[in-house]
Amino acid sequence: MMQRASVAQRAWASAKVRYSCLLILVLLLLTWGAGWIAPYPHDEIDAGAAFHAPGGKYLIGADALGRDVLSRTLHGGRMSLVVGLLATLLAVLCGVPLGALAGYVGGKVDWVISRVVDLLLPFPVILLAIVTKMLLGDGLVSVVIALSLVLTPFFARMARAKALSVAQLPFIEAAQGSGLGTGRIMLMHVLPHCFQPVLIMATLSVAFAILAEASLSFLGLGLPPPAPSWGGDLQASMSAFQLAPWTVLAPGLAITLAVLAFNFLGDGLRDVFDIGERFL
Amino acid sequence: MNAQPPVLSIEALAVDIRGARVLDGVSLMIGAGEALGLVGESGCGKSMTALAILGLLPRGATIAGGSVRLRGGELLGASEDALCQVRGGTVGMIFQEPGACLDPVMRIGRQIGESLQLHRGLRGAAQQAELRKLLLEVGLTDTERVARAYPHELSGGMQQRAMIAMALAGEPVLLIADEPTTALDARIASQILDLLDTLRRERGLALLLISHDLAVIGGRCDRVMVMYAGRVVESAPAARVFAQAQHPYTAALIAASPGIAGVAPKTDLRDIPGQLPAPGTARDGCAFAARCTLARPVCAERTPRWSRLTADSGVRCLQYEEGWSCSK
Amino acid sequence: MLEVTELLKIYRARGLGGAPFAAVDRVGFRIHAGETLGLVGESGCGKSTLSRCLMRLVEPTGGRVVFDGVDVRALGTRALRAFRRRMQIVHQDPYASLDPLMRIDRVLAAPLRHVLGLGAAATEQRMVSLLEEVGLNATHRLAYPHELSGGQRQRVAIARALSLEPEFIIADEPTSALDVSIQAQVLNLLLRLQRDRGLAMLFISHDIALVAHMSDRIAVMQSGRFVETGASADMVERAQHPYTRSLLAARPHRPQAIAAAT
């Protein structure tokens, strides 16, 4: 008969979780507020100011077209974070219910869903991105869909494993014995138990998605120019590294910070939850 | 009573966990070839007593007083090396879940062999010979197969026998069995208890049998000690405890056990209202007072001391201390 | 009330090269209202499988289960769900029979709201009266399972089973995980509920002494079959089958005491 602090309290007690949440909050505020904070619009070109060193008008300098790197990075962040969060959200909404259903119901349903998941798993991001770009054209939507297609099978698999283990437990049998239907049991019992592992995987997925989006943009498969994007800017500035390192460092550092923040959050949550999991 | 000195002698043992007293004034004695049953429900401190004997108390637990003497030698405060010699050597211990206490990736023969090597320095052919002897002694007749098997390949009863063999490997003088049969079916449990009985007689072992089930203890022990909330509340020869329990808690336990309560089917057992106190909750007065049907107001205030009733029995209850006669 | 004939459950072999085996091998019995049938056997004998088959939580391979005139095996999915109200199980493990993430009030409300379709106020009322009937008080409904003791959790499980007003309770080792002093409380509770509500009960345990105490009649099960059945008082004194005898002999007994001496 112990008093267990609520899950949220325990999570907050972990330093990793606290600081990474803070960092993420800062990043979100900065990038979302880019429209107000950024000194210049992201696409204002000033040929005369090309490769202007940091200082003076341009806090972190200017890129090849004279655009302010700071403004560009802030705006680019909005794109990257939106893509990362959206792709993960989509993957969770598609993958978790399917996986949980497969694990709980079993039988043919499980077979079908598992085959679909198996089919999606081996596809590399790049291939999927090319296909979606062909089918849906350039733009945010196709990148988000490509990324979520990559992430969905992992969520489905994890939800399935959790549902399988929960389905054995006596309280599920009791619920069935009470005459509750499959849908209700899944909503009330199975899905809540999936919550913790899904949350951990989701934070790590956001980190992955941000990095993947950057890679895609770097390869020219992401958002088309002049859309600001960390990966795109990185690619555009690569050749100028010697001349104007700030054009590469700014987006590079931004990517690193964002990915680290989400990774640490996931890590910290995993530490917290792993101890809690033993209650089952 | 034996004329020889007792194998195990505990006096006024007290254990605190983070300041809360979980064992208070526990005293007991076991002679060679004798079986003492320690009975109590969860949180009464019976397992803690066993762990204290072997110096295996959990972190945060400290010995607050008393002495534990094994064949005259004091165990409390002994060096870790000395205790390691004792554990598995002079004192063998058997636990409730044999499956959990046997290394799942090591074959049985090797695990017992480890013990033989550690405590008796046996290796090679001598070890193998002794291993076979032990396995036969505990009733695992197919020694080849068992020695080569992994724990999960054996049934629960066989795993328990293997654990007993491991405990015997160190040639102990005292065997502590902590709930050895709780996880087993009744018939297998009965066989294991019979085995312990036989070993006790043939090897002259002292046996400390711990259980929450009074019925298990009943037919197998010479003397019974009942514990409640960290204190011993009654101690008497087994036959006397069942025929005429002195402490209200003991009487209530007997009346609440379907097998030995002696009531007709489908009539209510005498249940003990309320709940067991959480371990370590400090209190003045008798710990059982809140649930005792014979309690008087003073029971909640004065802590009863141990009253010796006869040469080999005693009880901790105010009615004997004060000479009241409470109707049962 | 309940009539079972030739109940059969065959499991396909596990692993490679094993033969299919019958967990329940053509078992038949009857239980009337207000009566308790005790089912005793060692682990693996099929008693839990049998109880699951009665409620079709596990589908039987063969045989008939007739409850109050209704052929249980012939029910369709929806009818089965509605039917399940009448037969409820109390499990052995009080720790796993309640969802650790759910507060007690939600646990009890679930069958009331979703199966019986009660409104919020009626649910609350029923919940409180159920808790009181099993010896808990209304404040317990705000607790999480891990905040309650084993005995209290078991009472909640019983309350949940009762919430649908069943006519038949399957008690599958309901007290194995509990201390002796709490065990008596739960057993007495079951007896009282049976008397008050006229329930039929199937009491399952590996402990023949416990079964003999709680039942009018006993069935001894071994390897999927009933090896002996009879009135419990008779069985204890005049068991015929060697297996039953061995179970009785393994019963713990008072040392050197004869029943007459006490």
Write b or e for each residue in B197-216: b if 16 or more Cβ atoms lie within 10 A of its Cβ, otherwise e. Answer: bebbeeeebbbbbbbbbbbb
Domain limits of chain C? 35-56+89-248
CA distance B47 to chain C (A): 15
Residues of C in contact with A198 (CB under 8 A): none
Q: Which of A205-214, B276-285, C152-161, C172-181 has the lowest mean pLDDT?
A: B276-285
Mean pLDDT, chain A, rounded, equals 83
Quick one: which of C87, C91, C174 has its CA closest to A177? C87
Residue C110 at interface with chain A, using a CB cutoff of 8 Å: yes
User: Residue C243: which H helix or E strand, with range?
Assistant: helix C242-249
**Mean pLDDT calculated for residue range C243-257:** 72
Select from C208, C215, C254 the Cβ nearest to the Cβ of B186.
Answer: C208
More confident residue, B1 or A49: A49
Q: How far apart are CA B187 and CA C206, in angstroms?
A: 10
What pLDDT score was predicted for residue B219? Answer: 77
CA distance C40 to chain A (A): 21
Say if residues B12 and B26 touch (Cβ distance below 8 Å).
Answer: yes
Q: How far apart are CA C145 and CA C159, in angstroms?
A: 14
Token reading at C185: 């409380």
Residues of C in contact with A170 (CB under 8 A): 91-93, 96-97
Parallel, antiparallel or unpaired: strands B223-228 and B231-237: antiparallel
Q: Which of B21-25, B91-95, C11-15, C204-208 has the lowest mean pLDDT?
A: C11-15
Q: Which chains touch A (3 or more CB pairs under 8 A)?
A: C
Token reading at C176: 């194995």
Residue A169 at interface with chain C, using a CB cutoff of 8 Å: yes
Q: How many CB atoms lie within 10 A of CB B67?
A: 15
Q: In which region does residue B179 sit, left (phi positive, over 0), alpha (psi from -120 to 50) or beta (all else)?
A: left
List, in order, residues 6 or more apart from C167 with CB less than 8 Å away.
Answer: C1, C33, C68, C86, C87, C198, C199, C200
Q: How far apart are CA C203 and CA A207, in angstroms?
A: 55
What pLDDT score was predicted for residue A91? Answer: 94
- Residue A1's pLDDT band, with cuts at 50, 70 and 90, is very low
What pLDDT score was predicted for residue C258? Answer: 35
Residue C260 at interface with chain B, using a CB cutoff of 8 Å: no
Q: Which amino acid is at A34?
A: A
For chains A and C, CB pairs below 8 A equal 75
Residues of C in contact with A179 (CB under 8 A): 81-85, 111, 115, 164
**Mean pLDDT calculated for residue range A226-244:** 81
Q: How far apart are CA B245 and CA B261, in angstroms?
A: 12
| pLDDT per residue as tens digits for the range A83-99 | 889 999 999 999 999 99
- Specify the pTM: 0.78
The owner of tokens 């084993």 is C150
Residue A2 at interface with chain C, using a CB cutoff of 8 Å: yes
Q: Which amino acid is at B162?
A: A
Domain limits of chain B? 8-90+172-322, 106-162
E strand residue ranges, C101-216 = 168-172, 200-205
Select from B190, B266, B272 the Cβ nearest to the Cβ of C184.
Answer: B272
Q: Under CATH, to which class is C35-56+89-248 assigned?
A: alpha beta
Select from B186, B242, B271 the Cβ nearest to the Cβ of C184.
Answer: B271
Residue C125 has pLDDT above 50, yes or no: yes
Residue A177 at interface with chain C, using a CB cutoff of 8 Å: yes
Quick one: which of C56, C29, C5 has its CA closest to C203? C29
ipTM: 0.78
Parallel, antiparallel or unpaired: strands B35-39 and B20-30: unpaired
What pLDDT score was predicted for residue B225? Answer: 92
Alpha carbon distances (Å) from C212 to A26, C164, C184, C208? 69, 28, 14, 6
CA distance B54 to chain C (A): 26
More confident residue, B104 or A139: B104
Quick one: which of B198, B227, B203, B287 has its CA closest to B37? B227
User: How many Cα atoms within 13 Å fall on the side-chain side of residue C193?
Assistant: 29
Q: Which amino acid is at B269?
A: L
CA distance C231 to chain A (A): 29
For chains B and C, CB pairs below 8 A equal 118
E strand residue ranges, C139-205 = 168-172, 200-205
Q: How far apart are CA C43 and CA A79, in angstroms?
A: 61
What fold is seen in the domain B8-90+172-322? Rossmann fold (3.40.50)
| pLDDT per residue as tens digits for the range A147-181 | 898 899 999 999 999 999 998 888 888 888 887 88
Quick one: which of A46, A37, A63 has its CA closest to A232? A63
What pLDDT score was predicted for residue B248? Answer: 86
SS3 labels along chain B: CCCCCCCEEEEEEEEEECCEEEEEEEEEEECCCCEEEEECCCCCCHHHHHHHHCCCCCCCEEEEEEEEEECCEECCCCCHHHHHHHECCCEEEECCCHHHHCCCCCCHHHHHHHHHHHHHCCCHHHHHHHHHHHHHHCCCCCHHHHHHCCHHHCCHHHHHHHHHHHHHCCCCCEEEEECCCCCCCHHHHHHHHHHHHHHHHHHCCEEEEEECCHHHHHCCCCEEEEEECCEEEEEEEHHHHHHCCCCHHHHHHHHHCCCCCCCCCCCCCCCCCCCCCCCCCCCCCCCCHHHCCCCCHHHHCCCCCCEEEECCEEECCHHHHHCCCCCC
Contact A170 C85 (CB under 8 A): no
What radius of gyration, in Å, describes the C-alpha atoms of chain A? 22
Contact C210 B185 (CB under 8 A): no
Mean pLDDT by groups of 10 residues along chain B of 328 residues: 74 85 87 90 83 84 87 83 82 84 87 88 89 90 88 88 90 90 82 90 91 81 89 88 85 77 67 70 74 79 80 80 67
Say if residues A42 and A67 touch (Cβ distance below 8 Å).
Answer: yes
List, in order, residues 6 or more apart from C23 with CB less than 8 Å away.
Answer: C9, C10, C11, C46, C49, C224
User: Residue C131: which H helix or E strand, with range?
Assistant: helix C120-133
Residue C55 has pLDDT above 60, yes or no: yes
What pLDDT score was predicted for residue A164? Answer: 92
Residue B214 at interface with chain C, using a CB cutoff of 8 Å: yes
Nearest CA in chain C to B242: C254
Residues of C in contact with B189 (CB under 8 A): 250
Quick one: which of A77, A66, A69, A68 has its CA closest to A34? A77
What pLDDT score was predicted for residue A97? Answer: 93
| pLDDT per residue as tens digits for the range A10-30 | 777 788 888 888 888 888 888
Select from B188, B189, B257 the Cβ nearest to the Cβ of C180.
Answer: B257
**Mean pLDDT calculated for residue range A108-113:** 92
List all residues of chain A from 187 to 206 with a beta carbon under 8 Å from chain C: 188-189, 192-193
Write b or e for each residue in C150-165: b if 16 or more Cβ atoms lie within 10 A of its Cβ, otherwise e. Answer: bbbbbbbbbbbbbbbe
Say if residues B43 and B34 touch (Cβ distance below 8 Å).
Answer: no
Q: Which of A211-225, B117-131, C67-81 has the lowest mean pLDDT?
A: A211-225
Q: Which of A270-279, B88-97, C30-39 has the lowest mean pLDDT?
A: A270-279
Phi, psi of A135 (to 5 degrees): -80, -35
CA distance C9 to chain B (A): 23
Alpha carbon distances (Å) from A201 to A154, A265, A270, B289, B313? 9, 10, 9, 53, 63
Where do the domains of chain A lie, and which CATH numbers do they carry? 58-273 (1.10.3720.10)
Contact C232 B265 (CB under 8 A): yes
Contact C110 A188 (CB under 8 A): yes
* Cα-to-chain-centroid distance, residue B177: 6
Residues of B in contact with C243 (CB under 8 A): none
Quick one: which of B313, B258, B326, B255 has its CA closest to B286? B326
Q: Between the CA atoms of A221, A227, A233 and A235, what dihedral angle is there, to the nearest 10 degrees? A: 20
Q: How far apart are CA B21 and CA B230, in angstroms?
A: 8
List, in order, residues 6 or more apart from C11 with CB less than 8 Å away.
Answer: C20, C21, C22, C23
| DSSP SS3 for C6 | strand
Greatest distance between any 2 Cα atoms in chain B: 68
- Per the DSSP assignment, residues forming a β-bridge with C230 are C218
CA distance C148 to chain B (A): 11
Residue B185 at interface with chain C, using a CB cutoff of 8 Å: yes
Contact B273 C185 (CB under 8 A): yes
List all residues of chain C from 46 to 85 with a beta carbon under 8 Å from chain A: 52, 55, 57, 81-85
Nearest CA in chain A to C147: A1
Mean pLDDT, chain C, rounded, equals 83
Alpha carbon distances (Å) from C169 to C3, C34, C35, C151? 14, 11, 11, 18
What pLDDT score was predicted for residue A155? Answer: 93
Residues of C in contact with B263 (CB under 8 A): 213
Contact C210 B260 (CB under 8 A): no
More confident residue, B32 or C3: B32
- Per the DSSP assignment, residues forming a β-bridge with C8 are C25, C62
Contact B265 C212 (CB under 8 A): yes
Query: How open is the CA angle C59-C64-C70, to the nearest 5 degrees?
Result: 100
Alpha carbon distances (Å) from A50 to A69, A236, B6, B323? 11, 13, 96, 104
Select from C84, C100, C144 the Cβ nearest to the Cβ of A177.
Answer: C84
First CA to last CA distance, chain A: 15
Contact C256 B239 (CB under 8 A): yes
Residue C172 has pLDDT above 80, yes or no: yes
| DSSP SS3 for C201 | strand
CA distance B256 to chain C (A): 6
